[in-house]
Amino acid sequence: MKKLSFIFVSFLIAPISLLSQDTIVEKVVERPERPAFESSYIIDNPTDVTFIKNTLEVHMAHRFGTVNGGDNDLIGIWAPANIRIALSYAPHERLTLGYGTTKFDRLQDFNWKVALLRQTRSNKIPVNVTYYGNFVIDARSADRFLVEQHRYSYFNQLIISRRFNSKLSLQGSASVSHYNLVPQRMRNDVVAMSLGGRYKVSSQTSILVDYTQPFVHHLDGVKLDMDPEPGFSVGVEFRTSSHAFQLFLSSYQGIVPQKNIMFNQNNFFDGDFLIGFNITRLYNF
């Protein structure tokens, strides 16, 4: 009788044990892939990176003047430079909230990033899908604006990225930039597409490339002198567990995304590029 009871209990427990094992294996297989990038920005564009909960990021971006901008400015280093200092905090591992202040035009930006989909190691989900947005206030003197709403601009971007292997990661994104106030005959909205990539040459060093193409449509079909030029950047990133330092050449000086996309007049391949760097530091609480 005891043997029959033991066999009966074993028969009941076995499926539960097998189911538990299957569940454990499934969880291991469906773990998220490591982030495609190691910094929250790939030079001038946001990446798919969000932080673990209760992480604070301090970000400083610096852009010198263009290298061909003057006769005595030491390849732009002595020219007027643009600076942005920002903080970002992760209340959730899929959500980051931030604030930044920029020197040119005294721009105050409030931004957010949401991880919608994450690439899995099993490739069941082959890409990351991330949404980035911001709201920017131009804090210059009131005599520049007829109404308060003219100070405001907005940026919305959908980022699709993939980590192909331990060395190569690529991302593409589509964005809409909007200014409430623009010069005459210029549209308030500009759509843009961006492509970026990272290739690791060592455990802590990567090569970065970033390109943005704005698409401007005119009702009369006539190109304006103020139409934005594409943005191109190439650089190198040095990374530790809590720091990232990017040194690069870029045609963008505005730093804030919609400022770059809608008003950039520099053409990288005509020599209108500048030296810039980004520094980030992470703090975990």
Q: What domains can be seen in the chain, in order of their start residue? A: 31-284 (2.40.160.40)
Coil/strand/helix, residue 136: strand
pLDDT in tens, the chain (285 residues): 545 454 444 544 555 555 555 555 444 558 999 989 999 999 999 999 999 999 999 999 999 999 998 778 899 999 999 999 999 999 999 999 999 999 999 999 999 999 999 999 999 999 999 999 999 999 999 999 999 999 999 999 999 999 999 999 999 999 999 999 998 888 899 999 999 999 999 999 999 999 999 998 766 666 777 899 999 999 999 998 889 999 999 999 999 999 999 999 999 999 999 999 999 999 998
Question: b/e for 232-260, b at 16 or more Cβ within 10 A?
Answer: bbebebebeeeebebebebbbbbbbbbbb
What DSSP designation does 21 have? H
Coil/strand/helix, residue 1: coil
Q: Which of 149, 154, 160 is nearest to 133 (CA)?
A: 154
Distance CA 115, CA 112 (A): 10
Chain-centre distance for alpha carbon 230: 17
What DSSP designation does 40 have? S
Q: Is the dihedral of CA 99, 44, 226, 216 positive or negative?
A: negative
Report how far apart, in Å, the C-alpha atoms of 169 and of each of 205, 268, 275 are: 14, 23, 24
Residue 184's pLDDT is what? 85
Residue 270 backbone dihedrals phi, psi, to 5 degrees: -100, 10
Coil/strand/helix, residue 218: coil
Maximum distance among all alpha carbons in the chain? Answer: 101
For residue 47, the tally of other CB atoms under 10 A from its CB is 26
Residue 11's pLDDT is what? 44
